[in-house]
Amino acid sequence: MGELVVVENVTLDGVMQAPGGAEEDTRGDFRYGGWARPYADHVAAATMGEGMAADGALLFGRRTYTDFHGFWAGQGDGNPYTEVLNRKAKYVVSRTLAGPLPWQRSTLLAGPVADAVARLKRDVAGDIVVLGSGVLVRSLAAAGLVDQYTLSIHPLILGAGTRLFDEPAYREMSLVGTVTTTTGVIIASYRPAVTA
């Protein structure tokens, strides 16, 4: 049985939109794309690399899958992330994509999202890691399917952009681990608190 682990870059004010590049996601006239890049360092790379190397699978929404495939599938040898991303089983939630999907080891999930992901959690050994995919993450959180959030919290306030948690909802979390990078990013892992 797998656990669903959400991995996100966020700002101090919770923005998760377009951390990687200016053209990544401009919805809502967002103009701060690429905000996470100046904070990259060897500590973050090693921490994320450990998580990526573990057994399990990846789960994407359509937009993130398309972006990742467009960049990572064509990267040459020598980049450790390329080999891992190509090797791992990838599951995709989309209302618009049709199979077969172009990236090796990719499967389009059918049926209602919560049901499909609950089945996936039963069938996959190891963690099922969700990268980006904000719309998908919010729907999985609402369905109570997220087992852990690993958040790279950047020392930056944008004041605009799509936030990871965009609707008010009371949730208690338990901190299960932290790593601080040389650039001031705190990589914090949280699990939903068990309520009696």
CATH of the domain at 102: 3.40.430.10
Q: What is the pLDDT along the chain (196 residues), one digit of tens a residue?
A: 889 999 999 999 999 999 999 999 999 999 999 999 999 999 999 998 888 778 899 999 999 999 999 888 777 766 667 888 888 999 999 999 988 999 999 999 989 999 999 999 999 999 999 999 999 999 999 999 999 999 999 999 999 999 999 777 788 999 999 999 999 999 999 999 876 5
User: Tokens representing 86?
Assistant: 């190509």
Between strands 127-131 and 56-61, the pairing is parallel
Look at the alpha carbons of 125, 85, 166, 174 in this order and tell me if their dihedral is positive or negative.
positive
**Phi-psi category of 76—alpha, beta or left, where left has phi over 0 and alpha has psi -120 to 50?**
beta
| Residues spanned by the domain of 39 | 3-192
Tokens 């401009």 belong to: 26
Alpha helices in the chain (DSSP H): 42-53, 62-72, 80-87, 113-123, 134-142
User: Tokens representing 101?
Assistant: 């999907």
Between strands 186-192 and 173-180, the pairing is antiparallel
CB atoms within 10 A of CB 140: 22
User: Tokens representing 145?
Assistant: 């399917």
Domain total in the chain = 1
